[in-house]
Amino acid sequence: MINFLKIAFLGIIGFGLLVYLTAPEQIKKDNSTILNEKLSIFSLPSHFEVVGVSGYVRKNDLFNKTNKNYIVVLNHDALSLVEPLKFTNRKDIVLVANISKTPWFIKKLAVNGKLEELNKNSSISLINDTSGKLTKLLNITNDTQTKYFVFKIKDDNSIIKIEESEVKKGALEFGITKEESNKYILELFSFLK
């Protein structure tokens, strides 16, 4: 019994070390260079990892000027909006899963599968921003789990932040009710004008 307890204890310590050692470094809050530049489609990366698509998707294919007008960045709990959004008929949205602060081990073990499950059979593209490049370019420094951010792509290809809001704490883990889902979706759509 003592040997079993030793093995279990060492296993827990080992798992904790693995998560700690694979956690990404915190981004410094010095965004002065980003704030001084005008954000546009042209400043975004050339390729994106899109959930449910093998390989990468080119920026020009994803942000086709004729049909994509909004970028919605979802932090952890706000990812609960992905599933109800797929039942809407909106084709002018690109979603971004802001999971850059999640440790590498957890991303590979659970997060990628959960994102595929949430976005299954959806016509809305969901970018898996594992590196955090996109959220850094969009100047998102608030990584509160419940927050989401809405950006508009204007006719001149510039990108402006139009709103930020939040969902309840624990929405992804414990789920949201039909009433809460309707409330959050209506609120989000009120920003998309």
Length of the chain counted residue by residue: 193
Is residue 106 very low, low, confident or very high in pLDDT (cuts 50, 70, 90)? low
pLDDT at 90 over 60: yes
From the list 95, 73, 44, 188, the residue with the least C-alpha distance to 142 is 73
Is residue 33 very low, low, confident or very high in pLDDT (cuts 50, 70, 90)? very low
Whole-number pLDDT of residue 24:
62
Domain assignments of the chain as residue spans, ordered by start: 36-191
Check if the beta carbon of residue 185 is closer than 8 Å to that of residue 88.
yes
CATH topology of domain 36-191: Glutaredoxin (3.40.30)
What value does the mean pLDDT take over residues 13-29? Answer: 68
189: left (phi over 0), alpha (psi -120 to 50) or beta: alpha
What value does the mean pLDDT take over residues 49-53? Answer: 86
pLDDT at 193 over 50: yes
Quote the CA–CA distance of 181 and 48 in Å, as a whole number. Answer: 28
